[in-house]
Amino acid sequence: MADAKPRVKVPKTAAKGEVITLKTLISHQMESGQRKDKEGKTIPRQIINKFTCEYNGQPVFSCDLDPAVSANPYLEFTAKVEESGTFKFTWVDDDGSIYTAENELKVE
Amino acid sequence: MTLTRRDALGLAAGTVAFLTFGGKLAFAAAEETAAAISAFTGGKEPATGKITLDAPEIAENGNTVPVGVTVESPMTADDHVVSVMILAEGNPNPQVATFNFTLMSGTAEAKTRIRLAKTQNVVAIAKMSDGSTYIDKKEVKVTIGGCGG
C-alpha cells in the first residue's frame, strides 16, 4: 500500500534523563483477513505486523501487531533520553513494504 | 401452521446441533487464550498486581477501543519489564499486540487502539526481566462489533 503515511509526535527538546512520551500513527487499513467482499470472498489479510523505534541506533520500543489492532494503528510509548539524537520509527507491512519516519530531539 | 412430530424432532435436533457448535467455538477461544498465555509465560501461572490494564467499561464502537497498559517497575538493568502481551478472549484470534520494552523506554507504559468483536475480557500479561509474570483482566462491553462480519 503506497499511501501509508506515518505521523509522529515527539517533543522538540527535553531535559537530560527526562522520560518523554512519543505518539505515532500510520494511515493503513489493517485488513484483518476476516472480512468478506460483496461476492462473499474473503479479503486477504494485509496489516502492519511490526513496529520499532530506535534512538541513535539503540532500540527503545517495539511492538508485534496482530489483525486485532485497529485501522490506522496508533501507538503511544515513552523513551528516556540522555543525549541529543534522532528517533527512527519503522513500520513493516505484510507485503514486505517498510515505512519509516525520523525525528530529531535536542537534549538541553 | 401445525407442528408434526417429525418437524418437532428435526427442530430439536437442529437446536442441539447449534448449541453444541456454538458452545464448542466459545470453548476453543478460551482454550486458545489459555494456550497463548502459557506460551508467553512459559507454562507458569501469572501473578496479579504490578500491571494495570486501562480499557473503557463500555466501548460503543468495537473498531477502535483505546487500551493502555502500565507496569510498575524501576526499569533498571536488574529489574525491568521485557514485554507485555495483550489478548482479547472473544475475538476470532485472541492475539492483539505485544509490546517489547527496553531500558531506554524509561517506563513500561504503552497505549494503542484495538478491535473487539463483541463484549469480552481483555487480558494483559507482563513479563519481567527475572522471568516472573503478572496479569490483569478487564471486561469491555461492546455495542457494535469490530470484525466487519
Write down the mean pLDDT value for chain A: 93
Residues of chain B falling short of pLDDT 50: 19-25, 149
Q: Which residue in this structure is represented by grid cell 477501543?
A: B65
Model pLDDT for residues A80-98, shown as the tens digit of each residue = 999 999 999 999 999 999 9
Among B95, B105, B115, beta carbon nearest to A78: B105
Residues A103 and A81: their CA atoms lie apart, in Å, by 13
Residues A9 and B81: their CA atoms lie apart, in Å, by 24
Q: Is residue A39 one of the residues assigned to a domain? A: no
Contact A60 B104 (CB under 8 A): yes
The string of DSSP letters for B56-88 reads -SEEEETT-EEEEEEE-----SSS-EEEEEEEE
pLDDT at B10: 63
pLDDT at B24: 46
Q: Is B92 on the interface with A (CB under 8 A)?
A: yes
Shortest distance between the Cα of A80 and any Cα of chain B, in A, equals 5
Percent of chain A with pLDDT over 90: 88
Q: How many CB atoms neighbour CB B112 within 10 A?
A: 25
* Cβ proximity of A69 and A30 under 8 Å: yes
pLDDT at B2: 60
Contact A62 B100 (CB under 8 A): yes
Neighboring chain A residues of B147 at a CB cutoff of 8 Å: 32, 34-35
Q: Is residue A76 one of the residues assigned to a domain? A: yes
Q: Is residue A12 one of the residues assigned to a domain? A: yes
Model pLDDT for residues A51-76, shown as the tens digit of each residue = 999 999 999 999 999 999 999 999 99
Task: Please determine, for residue A6, whether its predicted confidence score (pLDDT) is greater than 90.
Answer: yes
pLDDT at B55: 96
Q: Is residue A77 one of the residues assigned to a domain? A: yes
Shortest distance between the Cα of B7 and any Cα of chain A, in A, equals 31
Query: Looking at chain A, which runs of residues are DSSP E strands?
Result: 6-9, 13-14, 18-26, 48-55, 58-65, 74-81, 85-93, 98-107
Neighboring chain A residues of B98 at a CB cutoff of 8 Å: 63-64
Q: Is residue A79 one of the residues assigned to a domain? A: yes
CATH number of the domain that residue A24 is part of: 2.60.40.10
Contact A67 B109 (CB under 8 A): no
Q: How many independent structural domains does chain A possess?
A: 1
Nearest to A71 by CA among B76, B95, B112: B112
According to DSSP, the residues that pair with B90 across neighbouring strands are: none
pLDDT at B65: 95
Half-sphere exposure of A34 (CA within 13 A, CB side): 17
Fold of B15-140: Immunoglobulin-like (2.60.40)
pTM of the model: 0.85
Q: Considering only residues 45 to 84 of chain B, which have any Cβ-Cβ distance to chain A shorter than 8 Å?
A: 63-65, 68, 75
Task: Please determine, for residue A2, whether its predicted confidence score (pLDDT) is greater than 90.
Answer: no
Nearest to B140 by CA among B108, B117, B112: B117
Q: What is the ipTM of this complex?
A: 0.92
User: Backbone dihedral region of B42: left (phi > 0), alpha (psi from -120 to 50 degrees) or beta?
Assistant: left
Full domain range(s) for residue A66: 6-32+46-107
- Give the chain B residue whose CA is nearest to the CA of A87: B104
pLDDT at B30: 77
- Domain residue ranges of chain B, discontinuous segments joined by +: 15-140
Among chain A, residues having any CB pair with chain B shorter than 8 Å are 19-20, 32, 34-35, 55, 58-71, 73-80
Q: How many CB atoms neighbour CB B22 within 10 A?
A: 10
Contact A61 B63 (CB under 8 A): no
The three grid cell numbers given for residue A15, joined into one nine-digit string: 531535559
